[in-house]
Structure 1
Amino acid sequence: MGADLRSGGLPGGPDTAGTRPDAEPRPAGTPKIVGIVWGLLILNTLGSTGAKTIIPLPRSLIQMATMGALVAAFALALAVNLRLRFRASAYVFLLTLLLVPSVISSANLESGYGALFRCTRLALFVGTLWLLSRWWDGGLTFVRHHIRMYFAVLGSVAAGLLISPGAALPEIYGGRLVGALWPLTPPQIGQYAAVIIGLTVLLVLGRRTDGVSAAVVIVPSLVLLALTHTRTATLGLIIGLALAIGSLILTSAAARRFFTWTVLCATVAAVGFSSALQAWFLRGQSQENFSNLTGRAKVWEALLAAPRTTADKLFGMGLGDKSFGGLPIDNSWLAVYQEQGLIGVALVGAIIIVLAGVALLRPPSLSRACAIFLISYCAIASYTEAGLGDASPYLLHLALAASLLAAPATATPLSTPDVPRPRIPRWALRSEVT
């Protein structure tokens, strides 16, 4: 295992020593502090609400930790990029434009002073992404940072399950897995598990990691995903991987073999375990409750039927806690409409369309496949999860996709370029006659 960590396994990073012929060297000039900044951004987006933890943590303390992580991330990113060198990024540019309706709607204070606080948080989040964009070169460096950090988060969930199974599988959540050490909800855990499973599978198919290191990540993550009973994350993982692997089928024999075996195994599982799969998928709910998406549809109907002024329709009501009438909205598009109006919906839609369009125009590659997986996963999850309009893990997933779709930076030549020699007049070439 130690050799895997040094030679390119997932927890240890790329094979910088070049011990494998297909190893990916670490991008020159990418400081290690960039990985710390990315990890702090992930910590900031974990949230401060969720299940009861084994050791009660005051919400104010958690908010201080998450907001402190964002401030530290911005400060470190600024320290490592003092010259303010950015790479052109349509994704971060559109996020910057999203700040405009957010500030305009939040300035009315209809959502309270918390709206201005959330605007400040979003501004710091976007600013940090601008500072990190200097190192977006289409490589897999940020993919490894992403997997490592979320695997650490899932490690805390697994530790809480071992320490106190009753707290990790509470009855209030229907026996679904929650974070017992840090307040994480089942959808959050399912999202993190699904994302790192999909990225790890793609790294294996691209021969960027070995099977043992991949199994260390995939197997426990699959167990945690199953314990959360999160349907959105499961469907996002399956559909996202299908689209990503489909983009590699024409150029990768490993992708073709994996796709074939996956289809066969899925067929056998659907036939032999159909009743068990149906029971897991329904989670003990009635058909009526399942059809209205666990009560979400009623909240959506009430939100759309609420009276609004023209300004509210265009700019929204201000950044809030993604709820309506005290109930969670659980839909990114309606949450954006509620908080940032139609202008916000148009900008978020432009983000998805631009990233998807760029991914389709790129030639087949592992980076493109990872980006397709992330974009499709976020698009699927946006139907039953909120987060595309504010600092959230979904915006980080899309930022990772944007970094994978960035064109490789042109390398600075090591040798000094040829400089035209100055023209010497003829009289200076004549030797002096004494």
Structure 2
Amino acid sequence: MGGNPRRGGLPDGPHTAGARSGAGPCPTTTPRAVGIVWGLLVLNTLGSAGAETVIPLPRSLIQMVTMGALAAAFALALALNPRLRIRPSAFVLLLTLLLVPSVLSSLHLESGFGALFRCARLALFVSTLWLLTRWWDGGLTFVRHHIRMYFAVLGSVAAGAVVSPGAAMPELYGGRLVGALWPLTPPQIGQYAAVIIGLAVLLVLSGHTDRVSAAVVIVPSLVLLLLTHTRTATLGLLIGLALAIGSLVLTSAAARRFFTWAALCAAAAGVGFASALREWFLRGQSQENLSSLTGRAKVWDALLAAPRTTSEKVFGVGLGDKSFGGLPIDNSWLAVYHEQGWIGIALVATALVVLGGVALLRPPSPARACAIFLISYCAIASYTEAGLGDASPYLLHLAVAASLLAAPPAAAPPLSAPEVSRRRFPRWAGEGR
């Protein structure tokens, strides 16, 4: 996806300047190194827990790599933006406020010293996003960075499946696809695949990339998504795309055609492949196991029934590993309630509402459609996946949405003749020469 902005390349045009008045002229281009910063943030949020890899990787080594990636991302972002020129962002501001209950609850050390470490990580993550807001201008630049980076991650998954099919689809995960080179779980792989499929579809429908480039991303990603048997990612992709394409229907003939054909194909598949789709959806599970959301409901009930002090209800127990009683919580809202309390839930909900409200108020455009897709996907996935209250891929998805909804910077007024003279000949300016 490179070259012409309507054929897969980065969109040209002015980019974001600093938010503060007098911060300086708008940068005419986004530095290529910004993409490196984004890739380092992606690497940091991959996590360190997952399936066994072909070459065993100590968890301490993985954590060192991911934390080193975050430190490098912050340092590089600071080098690119040394004057700390930032743009106002309600989303990043709310993430900054989320640090307050996180730190206050973590100081009690109920979750151990690791809670303070996670607070420091979240602070560095948010600080890096603040530095990157300088280049948030409502364009598709960060969408392309997002697709490239997660496509590279999926490339490592595909390579692992080729090198060791047995390790890539172990019996421990019911034959579902996992990361054999880097420890990635099926839900993670499904999430990455679904997000870049949706974004690639929207780019090709709006004419911002060609069909060949889109197919290179969509086809292999769809295969990996199907191999993960991830229901949440699949539903998030379908519902998110429906909402996003629906926002383009009135202004895009390509979107109307795609929407019509997709509806017809879905109806045909529902009739002709109903049994196969049902078997894939159930993944060999019983109806009882499915109704309890693969055991998640039991953890949720236990979490809600656990006694809590007023302080724990308001601020939470501190940032942890998103688990309760040794079992994963797998729900963003309950995880935030457990770790950051009601204040955390209020801030996260406000962030989603603000992003969704701004997206609805924007006129139809490809950027708005991509933002709607990302926001709706994260909202749907929040029911069975944790991550909205800490540094995670979900916050990166929402950060891309925030960059898409940022108002384009005002064009700098043309310079007057004396100003041009002063810039060209600073020593003699005002001397009458």
Q: Does 1:265 align with 2:265?
A: yes
Q: Does 1:62 align with 2:62?
A: yes
Name the residue aligned to 2:181. Answer: 181
Name the residue aligned to 1:432. Answer: none
1:7 and 1:121 map into 2 onto residues whose CA distance is: 37
CA-CA distance at 1:415 after TM superposition: 3.7
Q: Does 1:118 align with 2:118?
A: yes
| CA distance 1:344–1:417, shift in 2 (3 Å) | farther
CA-CA distance at 1:56 after TM superposition: 0.2
Name the residue aligned to 1:403. Answer: 403
* 1:208-262 deviations in Å (ceiling 9; x for gaps): 0000010000000000000000000000000000000000000000000000000
- Say which SS state the counterpart of residue 182 (structure 1) adopts: coil
CA-CA distance at 1:14 after TM superposition: 2.5
Name the residue aligned to 1:313. Answer: 313
The list of structure 1 runs, each at least 4 consecutive aligned residues, that deviate by more than 2 angstroms after superposition, is 4-10, 12-17, 411-419
- The one-letter code of the counterpart of 2:99 is L
1:14 to 10, 18, 38: 10
TM-score (norm 2): 0.92
2:240 and 2:131 map into 1 onto residues whose CA distance is: 29
Name the residue aligned to 2:19. Answer: none
| CA distance 1:204–1:333, shift in 2 (3 Å) | same
Name the residue aligned to 1:92. Answer: 92
Counterpart mapping for 1:353-368 below 5 A: 353-368=353-368
- The one-letter code of the counterpart of 1:289 is N
Which runs of 5 or more structure 1 residues have no equivalent in the other structure?
18-26, 420-434
2:62 and 2:257 map into 1 onto residues whose CA distance is: 45
* 1:333-392 deviations in Å (ceiling 9; x for gaps): 000000000000000000110000000001110000000000000000000000000000
CA-CA distance at 1:30 after TM superposition: 1.2
Contact 1:101 1:316 in 2 (8 A): yes
CA-CA distance at 1:414 after TM superposition: 5.1
Name the residue aligned to 1:389. Answer: 389
- The one-letter code of the counterpart of 2:225 is L
Contact 1:199 1:370 in 2 (8 A): yes
- Say which SS state the counterpart of residue 157 (structure 1) adopts: helix
Contact 1:9 1:214 in 2 (8 A): no
Name the residue aligned to 1:431. Answer: none
- The one-letter code of the counterpart of 2:397 is H
CA-CA distance at 1:412 after TM superposition: 2.3
1:347 and 1:158 map into 2 onto residues whose CA distance is: 37
State how many pairs are aligned: 406
2:293 and 2:394 map into 1 onto residues whose CA distance is: 21
Counterpart mapping for 1:88-167 below 5 A: 88-167=88-167
Contact 2:198 2:237 in 1 (8 A): yes
CA-CA distance at 1:7 after TM superposition: 4.0
- The one-letter code of the counterpart of 2:223 is V
CA-CA distance at 1:15 after TM superposition: 6.7
Q: Does 1:298 align with 2:294?
A: no
Identity percentage over the alignment?
80
TM-score (norm 1): 0.92
- The one-letter code of the counterpart of 1:188 is Q
1:151 and 1:198 map into 2 onto residues whose CA distance is: 13
- The one-letter code of the counterpart of 2:315 is F
Name the residue aligned to 1:371. Answer: 371
Task: Report the RMSD for the aligned CA atoms in angstroms.
Answer: 1.5
Which runs of 5 or more structure 2 residues have no equivalent in the other structure?
14-26, 420-433
- The one-letter code of the counterpart of 1:38 is W
- The one-letter code of the counterpart of 1:177 is L
CA-CA distance at 1:410 after TM superposition: 1.5
1:105 and 1:86 map into 2 onto residues whose CA distance is: 29
Q: Does 1:77 align with 2:77?
A: yes
| CA distance 1:414–1:68, shift in 2 (3 Å) | farther
- Say which SS state the counterpart of residue 207 (structure 1) adopts: coil
2:88 and 2:283 map into 1 onto residues whose CA distance is: 45
Determine which structure has more spread, i.e. the larger CA radius of gyration: 1
- Say which SS state the counterpart of residue 61 (structure 1) adopts: helix
| CA distance 1:240–1:183, shift in 2 (3 Å) | same
CA-CA distance at 1:325 after TM superposition: 0.2
2:2 and 2:266 map into 1 onto residues whose CA distance is: 32
1:8 and 1:218 map into 2 onto residues whose CA distance is: 19
CA-CA distance at 1:416 after TM superposition: 3.3
CA-CA distance at 1:154 after TM superposition: 0.1
2:414 and 2:74 map into 1 onto residues whose CA distance is: 31
Contact 1:9 1:213 in 2 (8 A): no
| CA distance 1:9–1:176, shift in 2 (3 Å) | farther
1:64 and 1:163 map into 2 onto residues whose CA distance is: 25
CA-CA distance at 1:16 after TM superposition: 5.9
1:262 and 1:378 map into 2 onto residues whose CA distance is: 22
Name the residue aligned to 2:334. Answer: 334
Name the residue aligned to 2:424. Answer: none
1:8 and 1:228 map into 2 onto residues whose CA distance is: 33
Name the residue aligned to 2:16. Answer: none
CA-CA distance at 1:155 after TM superposition: 0.2
1:177 and 1:349 map into 2 onto residues whose CA distance is: 32
| CA distance 1:308–1:219, shift in 2 (3 Å) | same
- Say which SS state the counterpart of residue 256 (structure 1) adopts: helix
